[in-house]
Structure 1
Amino acid sequence: MARHHTLQPPPKLYPAMRFEVLEADLGADLPRVLALNGMGGFLWDLDADTFFLDPGGLAVYDLDPDEYDGRTETLAQRIMPEDIAALRDTVDDALASKDGYGAYFRVRCSDGTIRWSHTQGRIQRDGAGRARRVVGIVRDASPELEHLTQQATLKADRKRQTDVVQVTTSVLSQALTIQDVTAALTSKEIMGAIGAGSVVLSLVEKDRLRIVAAAGMPPEFSRDLRYVRLDESLPVAEAVRTQTPRFTMKEEALSHPRLRPHVEGSDLTAAAILPLIAQAQPIGALAIIYRDKDEFTPEERNLLIALGGTVAQSVQRAVLYDEEHAMAVGLQQAMLPASIPGVPGTQIAVRYRPARTGHQIGGDWYDVVPLPTGRVGLVVGDVQGHDIHASAVMGQLRIALRAYAAEGHPPSTLMARASSFLHDLDTDRFATCIYADLDPATGHAELVRAGHHGPLVKHADGRCSRPYIHGGLPLGLPQYSSHAPYPTTRLQLGAEETLLLCTDGLVEFHGMDIDEGVQQIETILRGGPADMDELAEHIVATIEARQGQEDDVALLLVGLTGDRQPEERRHWSCLVTHSDPQAPALARQMLRNTLIHWGLGDQCDAAVTAANELIANAVMHTDGDAMLTARLLRQNGDRTGAQLKIEVQDNSSRLPQLKMPSDTSSGSRGLLIVEQLAQEWGAEPLGSGKRIWFKLPVRGPG
């Protein structure tokens, strides 16, 4: 506690006192000790309003003892005007109710310089509690504040470095591909955090560096320096070659002929060239270029080197991802049809897009299968899972379903057989699928659905509809492993209308109801181009831009062009019973009568002779009945370009072989006769047996 004294009136001038009062109160050595530490004592008599300072205190205020008269007004002239009001408020508040105070303020020295000072006073009161005098110290606070400023600067630098690391790590952690990494490095978040004017990323390719991103540099820079040999004397090549960071100034860059045109006359001043090292091997280089820097501090160098290590890990991860993703996509594409056949009267477009996240391939597929009499089978499906196994199952299922379609099975039977096939593969994967058997000439379609989304139809007036398609369970489930029928739905597709089949990756998104996804596709369809290929690209590009590619997408679009006129078809069939010896002769006679009725009497002999050879083969080489079928296809009601197709179907899966008979052979001449008489012929395997056919051109009216 401070002692209370009875004050004696001070002399008028402070120098005449010779500090007797202070020496008596503070001790003979204390003022000298304080002065040596940039401090001094004061005694403020409140009643007389006189302010006594020892030599240390005078030095703090930069006052000469002969020029100070002990008045507070004189002392106030040394204090910066901006600080006087705050200092007065602090002191008045302490005098009113406190025991002491402390405050920082600025002093203007006699040479005009400004120094920070600090005062701390202890208030002494009389018995009534009234403040009588203040005893305290003043000191030069400049070193203290300089230290605090340095600490604040250091703290700010550390925070900036921490922010750079956090921002860089956060942005790069979301980068999957090299494209993502370059976008992150050239973003405002990273370039702004490190204060860079330009960023150039290069990757090692064999014995050279290739620029993959150059943000903030003119186009000619990337053009002229796109490739740099590792044995060149350029700083970037040397940094990679020696695996040592290079911190260069503009003068050094000007000494290299390839760099001089791009640096000379520019505002570029310095560059940090960081080799990207992964698993002890250089994989690239990152050049961070500045426009207002004349040196790199040790802290900045350490920060940039650490940044280079983070970027190297991201680049290595991205390169590996791109390689694996390309391999996965290549394998998936190999499982899909190499090309889509042209189908008269239609425009067909397909697209497959792998998921944007992850590099595993999936089981999405599409297919287009030409069918007899000009029809076409359209397939879109999805095998459960995203891995090699899903893709392998998809490939097998696609081929099996294509084979069943080519055999001529109706859609319901085709889907049931595909389900049985998948179940027999002894896999735990199931699949969803939608199949459409479309006749482009009439627009009639039969659709069957196995746990899959229904189709969308875009009408000629731009409207979109969702036709209801009866559905069954997904393929591969036990309930459908015994050829149980799938329900079939008939659909009439009009001219200039478009049918869309797709997998769920096009309509299902995280956080979005599936109806919203379908509505989104309808909106895109309504505003899309008329050309099928352009429309397919427009759909997948728009969805990727809006929602991102969360899942694999398989898409099939088919539109009727309206340029194929319906065919007039005549169809006749006859069962040739194996147990009836008269059945072949009866079938020949019935075929002749039918052809005469169709107005093809002049072609009866060739048709019946060739058909007789096929009937004979079926009767002699199989144990079951055979089916003889004749079809007449005529365009627009006339006979121009019309064809007569004769088929014989039996229950033997053994396909015929064309052989040259010997001179003494009594057989092997049937197919030779067919080949001589027919325009073309062929054999097709069926689910149970085969079909052998031949075609004859229909000549003019007769």
Structure 2
Amino acid sequence: MTDDRRPRDAEPSPLPPFDRRNDGEIRPTERLAMNRTGSFDWDLDTGTLDVDEAGLMVFGVDPATYDSRPGSLLEHLEPAERARLDVTVDEAITGGSSSYSVHFPVPLDDGTTQWTHVQARILRSGDGRAHRIVGIVRDATAEVTHSAFILDLEKRRQRQTNIVERTTSAMSRAVTVDDVTAALTGSGGLARLGADGLALGLVENSTLNIVALSGESLEVLDGLGSGTLDRDLPLADTIRSGRPRFITSLSALARRYPELEPHLGRLRFRAAAYLPLVAQARSLGGLALFYRERTVFNADERILCLGLAAIVAQSLQRAMLFDEEREFATQLQSAMLPSRIQEVEGGEIAVRYHAAWSGRQVGGDWYDVITLPKNRYGLVVGDVQGHDTHAAAIMGQLRIALRAYASEGHPPATVLARASRFLSELDTERFATCTYAQVDLASGAVKVVRAGHLGPLIRHVDGRVGSPQVRGGLPLGTSTDLLDEEYPETRLDLVPGETFVLYTDGLVEEPGADLDTGIDALRNEVSRGPAGAEALADHLSERLWERWGSGDDVALLVLRRSPDVGTSHAPRLHQYIHQADPEGLSDARAIVRQALADWDMADFADDAELVTGELLVNVLLHTEGGAVLTLEVLPEPVRRIRLSVQDRSSAWPRRRTPGETSTSGRGLLLLDAVATRWGIEPRGEGKAVWCEIGPPPPPATTPPPAVR
């Protein structure tokens, strides 16, 4: 529009004349001029632009000085605006458009800016060439200003709507009071509220406690506000009166509340809104929102603040009710579980109970440690169906009943059968799973029964973790209903230093994965964890329950038999080899070889490994249980290896003379050939075959006592 497009071989075509009347009526051009609207005719062939007086007035150009050149008309425009206008016109002409419309600002002589609107029609010849543009030009300042106002108003309302929506969404996910404060003060909390700082105070027994402060420089208020409600401070005053206070002058705030005056100089805020938090006519506390740039609170902003306070108050009321219910449920759960676990002689026990993160944090999982006759202990871990107070109540009754049956001295199978009958007779449709073990820490004997529950894990002294094949029966309650109360016992041996782990399924159930994946993860963590029972229980809780156990409660019991490590001069190790463990035999031989290498007795490793294999194979083939391998170094003056294999069979090996083609019967002959000394001893319910490998003892040396 600023270029002079003027081929001189064409004459401009005149516009049709306006209808001029002499009867006193207002002519059309006058009507347009009165509305600051004019017209123009731009001849592209000659490059001349004719504008009527009204149009020149819109452009702020004196008619007496205008020379019909487009450049003269727009010389007051900013260069950027002139370039934008040129691009708009050129694109319309070259693009084949029949019209264009554009708004642009025109600086006026009085220093103001006028928004101008051009609406043009492009006239083309038969071949499509543009040769003329006609249109109107008008003052659109009022329209644009009003539009800008509307846009700004809509922008403010959209911002307020976003604040309410984001705050409502965050509060809807808050379950506890801690969740509410975390949503307000955590990442993005202040941005959601549209504030630069906040303080949250809660009322309890006529006392105000400031539970959250967030925002730069608000730490200067730390310690202020908490205390009785009669303190002369703005938040307490707002809570007492139940009326909001909107502060736009910190100096006025200091005059009203002198206690604040020494601290306000360090605050980097200019305005604040003190809002009471009220839900169902109950005063919960107060919320203070601080702003760095705001100097006024208009009606919409006050309504927004009150709406935010209502959202926070409702969330707090819901969270407080949940916390009260959860505290009741937690106390109920604690009352149902043992108040303390006694210390055990010959070992250490650690127990853990973790409530589910969701729901009321109460369920049917339980643990127990029962003192039994003959210095034995009963270990129980179980789970009643359900996650509610009813499950917890049934769990409490079942735990007490099982404890009573076990204390009477019944064998494990009888204990679970009677517990199943007890649960079946209760007025409930719930069932329970359970694993019960009787442990003799003096001998290491363990009798285990299962009722539809997960089996135990055993961590050996070398860090390996085994899953013994423990036979099981039906869950408690259902077994009685189905007339199948058989709970077969499985005999295990816990050697000194080994750890016995019982747990409920909440510790191994990973969302989206099968149970075997969780059990493998538990085995790995038991193997990697520390040796002590308490330390291992903490390790498992941290690595597994906090990882995926939020959906279920967890009961965990860890028993470690006290290790028997001997001394630096006479070291000792124990290893249990389960009959159903195919790798146990090779592991035992490897353990013996490695131990002798560590004890600087590797010269005897071949003989010791050979004897170990022979004695263990004899037990695993000819008895109905596993074996306990004990390897120790006898003290000086002559260091020798003493190797013992204990089993639960009372049948002693017999010396035979095998034929050339016999495949067995050479075990005792091998002992005669390799060992310096060997023998057989009765041991508890079974026997132990022992041998010594190394230099012979001095002639006057008395044979050492049997290893206990």
Quickly name the TM-score band, shorter chain normalised.
Answer: 0.7 to 0.9
1:560 equivalent in structure 2:
561
Superimposed CA distance per residue, residues 212-264 of structure 1 (whole angstroms, 9 cap, x where no aligned partner): 22223669656522523222331111211121111123223323233233322
Q: Secondary structure at the match of 2:168?
A: helix
Q: Distance in 2 between matches of 1:270 and 1:389?
A: 52
Superimposed CA distance per residue, residues 412-437 of structure 1 (whole angstroms, 9 cap, x where no aligned partner): 11111111111122321100000111
Counterpart residue identity of residue 190, structure 1: G
CA contact (8 A) 1:228 1:237 kept: no
Q: Secondary structure at the match of 1:65?
A: coil
Counterpart residue identity of residue 82, structure 1: A
CA shift in 2, pair 1:234/1:365, >3 Å? same
CA contact (8 A) 2:501 2:557 kept: yes
CA contact (8 A) 1:423 1:481 kept: no
Counterpart residue identity of residue 251, structure 2: E
Q: Which runs of 5+ in 1 are unaligned?
A: 1-6, 12-19, 566-702
Instruction: Report matched runs for 1:376-455 at 5 Å.
Output: 376-455=377-456
CA contact (8 A) 1:454 1:466 kept: yes
From 4, 18, 26, the counterpart of 1:24: 18
CA shift in 2, pair 1:221/1:452, >3 Å? farther
Q: Distance in 2 between matches of 1:115 and 1:375?
A: 99
1:502 equivalent in structure 2:
503
1:524 equivalent in structure 2:
525
1:59 equivalent in structure 2:
57
Q: Distance in 1 between matches of 2:217 and 2:557?
A: 43
CA contact (8 A) 1:420 1:483 kept: no
CA contact (8 A) 1:167 1:190 kept: no
CA shift in 2, pair 1:183/1:517, >3 Å? same
Q: Secondary structure at the match of 1:272?
A: strand
Q: Secondary structure at the match of 1:163?
A: helix
1:168 equivalent in structure 2:
167
Q: Distance in 1 between matches of 2:63 and 2:27?
A: 19
CA contact (8 A) 2:509 2:549 kept: no
Instruction: Report matched runs for 1:223-262 at 5 Å.
Output: 223-225=222-224, 227-249=226-248, 250-255=250-255, 256-262=257-263
Counterpart residue identity of residue 76, structure 2: R
1:87 equivalent in structure 2:
85
Superimposed CA distance per residue, residues 649-701 of structure 1 (whole angstroms, 9 cap, x where no aligned partner): xxxxxxxxxxxxxxxxxxxxxxxxxxxxxxxxxxxxxxxxxxxxxxxxxxxxx
Instruction: Report matched runs for 1:543-692 at 5 Å.
Output: 543-547=544-548, 549-562=550-563
The farther-off stretch of 483-492 and 403-412 is 483-492
Matched, 1:195 2:174: no
Q: Distance in 2 between matches of 1:161 and 1:449?
A: 61
The farther-off stretch of 103-112 and 163-172 is 103-112
CA contact (8 A) 1:167 1:189 kept: no
Q: RMSD between aligned alpha carbons?
A: 2.7
Q: Distance in 1 between matches of 2:104 and 2:219?
A: 57
2:362 equivalent in structure 1:
361
Q: Distance in 1 between matches of 2:59 and 2:202?
A: 64
CA contact (8 A) 1:272 1:287 kept: yes
Superimposed CA distance per residue, residues 432-470 of structure 1 (whole angstroms, 9 cap, x where no aligned partner): 000111111222211111111112223333333322221
Counterpart residue identity of residue 156, structure 2: D
CA shift in 2, pair 1:548/1:43, >3 Å? farther
**Residue 26 (structure 1) shift:** 8.5
CA contact (8 A) 1:344 1:564 kept: no
Q: Secondary structure at the match of 1:115?
A: strand
2:3 equivalent in structure 1:
none
Superimposed CA distance per residue, residues 541-565 of structure 1 (whole angstroms, 9 cap, x where no aligned partner): 3335423521111111111123699
CA contact (8 A) 1:270 1:290 kept: yes
1:102 equivalent in structure 2:
101
**Residue 185 (structure 1) shift:** 0.9
**Residue 382 (structure 1) shift:** 0.9
From 30, 34, 37, the counterpart of 1:36: 34
Q: Distance in 2 between matches of 1:540 and 1:116?
A: 70
Q: Distance in 2 between matches of 1:335 and 1:116?
A: 79
CA shift in 2, pair 1:252/1:521, >3 Å? farther
Counterpart residue identity of residue 521, structure 1: L
2:693 equivalent in structure 1:
none
Matched, 1:277 2:278: yes
Q: Secondary structure at the match of 2:486?
A: coil
Counterpart residue identity of residue 418, structure 1: A
Counterpart residue identity of residue 268, structure 2: D
2:135 equivalent in structure 1:
136
Q: Distance in 1 between matches of 2:398 and 2:471?
A: 22
Q: Distance in 1 between matches of 2:81 and 2:266?
A: 49
Q: Secondary structure at the match of 1:139?
A: strand
Q: Secondary structure at the match of 1:554?
A: strand
Counterpart residue identity of residue 77, structure 1: E
Counterpart residue identity of residue 384, structure 1: Q
CA contact (8 A) 1:39 1:137 kept: yes
**Residue 320 (structure 1) shift:** 0.6
**Residue 267 (structure 1) shift:** 0.9
TM-score of the pair, normalised by structure 2: 0.73
Q: Secondary structure at the match of 1:138?
A: strand
Q: Distance in 1 between matches of 2:16 and 2:105?
A: 25
Q: Secondary structure at the match of 1:188?
A: coil
Counterpart residue identity of residue 152, structure 2: T
The farther-off stretch of 78-87 and 186-195 is 78-87
**Residue 170 (structure 1) shift:** 1.3
Instruction: Report matched runs for 1:275-354 at 5 Å.
Output: 275-354=276-355
The farther-off stretch of 101-110 and 492-501 is 101-110
CA shift in 2, pair 1:341/1:564, >3 Å? farther
Count of residue pairs brought into register by the alignment: 551
**Residue 23 (structure 1) shift:** 6.5
1:649 equivalent in structure 2:
none
CA contact (8 A) 1:182 1:213 kept: yes
Q: Distance in 2 between matches of 1:341 and 1:120?
A: 94
Instruction: Report matched runs for 1:455-466 at 5 Å.
Output: 455-466=456-467
CA shift in 2, pair 1:128/1:535, >3 Å? closer
Q: Secondary structure at the match of 2:365?
A: strand
CA contact (8 A) 2:380 2:436 kept: yes
Counterpart residue identity of residue 252, structure 2: E
Q: Distance in 1 between matches of 2:197 and 2:496?
A: 56
Q: Which runs of 5+ in 2 are unaligned?
A: 1-8, 567-708
**Residue 344 (structure 1) shift:** 0.6
The farther-off stretch of 309-318 and 449-458 is 449-458
Q: Distance in 1 between matches of 2:237 and 2:263?
A: 19
CA shift in 2, pair 1:515/1:252, >3 Å? farther
**Residue 367 (structure 1) shift:** 0.4
Superimposed CA distance per residue, residues 27-71 of structure 1 (whole angstroms, 9 cap, x where no aligned partner): 872333223323211122233221111222112211111221111
Q: Distance in 2 between matches of 1:374 and 1:217?
A: 63
